[in-house]
Amino acid sequence: MDVFAIILAAVIAFAVTALLGKWLVPFLHKINFGQTIRAVGPKWHQKKNGTPTMGGFMFIIGILIALSACIPLTLTGNKTLSDDMVGTRVVGGYLLALGFGAIGFIDDYIKVIKKRNLGLTVLQKLVLQCIVAGGYLLAMKMGGATSVTMMPFVGAVNFGMWYWIVAFLGIVGMANAVNFTDGIDGLNGSVTFFVSVFFMIIAGMLKSAGMGVFAAACAGGCLGFLIWNFNPAKVFMGDTGSLFLGGMVCAMGFGLNVPILILVVGIIYIIEILSVVLQVTYFKATHGKRLFKMTPIHHSFEMHGWSEVKICAIFSTVTAVAGVLALFMAMSAYGIL
């Protein structure tokens, strides 16, 4: 039943997300919710000006329907959502993603209404993200989570209060890292698809049906969205979608108690945000010189002549390889090797 629920979650999320595009894309066109492309970006991106944004609603809804339909299938016997932290991990995890998605929606809405590629200020975003991350960790703690986490080659380690501090900073940082990975057709969806598949395999290995359904729904939603977002994109996910996916990635890592592995399987996210940090730091230190042609780093590869399809393929391959490495690390953490 658990395997059936996991497969069904992926299928439902994929189908609902893909089918929603047939209605949502024309609707976004109709209400003129188009993306304003930055003038400082690659010149060839200007042809994308006006492409509908906020398409992330497609997989947000698809994942919600998949979870609602399939989580009950994993609750056999007397088991309920309150048992074994299933409710906190799944419901709390989705609410974490939804909270980040709501911040992204506000940001997208301001961009669209003002017809410029600016939204919330950095401080406004950060404050809201801290509130969402803090609320999630508080719910986890009240639901029974402890500061003990599984570490590769070591096993269970209790980090005490440091766990909650690092977790808080890590969630906010990773959500923004996933957000930075959005910017070319199909990139964020394809990378997050492979990240979700990795967590789905880990959940199956640990017999965590709830988190298996959660990860499978995310994978299915990303795949369904790629039908509309792969180059040439008919719709963008916007910050609504990219911040939501950032929350989903964090929820999967913390839900399976292997948050450290987010840094491994999410290596592309880390590279993307580090490229921005390094660029800004170097620019200020050298009074105007640039370390990369453009950041986030996927744009730098574009400037060097890589096509968007090539970037997606290589970044996804790197993620898949990192996922295999992370799988062995997870097995060592739980003593399965």
Residue 304, Cβ neighbours under 10 Å: how many? 10
Nearest to 230 by CA among 309, 128, 120: 309
pLDDT in the model for residue 225 = 98
**Rounded-to-5 percentages of helix, strand, coil across the chain:** 70, 5, 25
How does DSSP assign 120-136, residue by residue? S-HHHHHHHHHHHHHHH
pLDDT in the model for residue 75 = 80
pLDDT in the model for residue 29 = 84
pLDDT by 10s per residue, the chain, length 337: 689 999 999 999 999 999 999 999 999 888 877 666 555 556 555 566 668 889 999 999 999 999 999 998 888 655 655 555 677 889 999 999 999 999 999 998 888 876 655 678 889 999 999 999 999 999 999 888 899 999 999 999 999 999 999 999 999 999 999 999 998 999 999 999 999 999 999 999 998 899 999 999 999 999 999 999 998 999 999 999 999 999 999 999 999 999 999 999 999 999 999 999 999 999 999 988 999 989 999 999 998 999 999 999 999 999 999 999 999 999 999 988 6
pLDDT in the model for residue 111 = 82
Long-range contacts of 104-111 (CB under 8 A, 24+ apart): 104/56, 104/179, 104/238, 104/239, 104/240, 104/241, 104/242, 104/243, 104/244, 105/54, 105/238, 105/239, 105/240, 107/239, 107/240, 107/243, 108/53, 108/54, 108/238, 108/239, 108/240, 111/35, 111/36, 111/53
Total-model pTM: 0.94
Number of residues in the chain: 337
Nearest to 81 by CA among 6, 133, 144: 144
pLDDT in the model for residue 228 = 96
- Longest Cα separation, the chain: 65
71 sits in which H/E element: helix 57-74
Burial class (CB in 10 A: 0-12, 13-18, 19+), 160: exposed
Query: How far is residue 254's CA from residue 249's CA, in Å, rounded to a whole number?
Result: 9
Both tokens of 205, joined, read 């290995």
pLDDT in the model for residue 77 = 56
Q: How far is CA 323 from CA 7, 190, 201, 311, 314, in A?
A: 20, 13, 10, 18, 14
Residue with tokens 């803090």: 134
Residue with tokens 């209400």: 31
Both tokens of 136, joined, read 């999630």
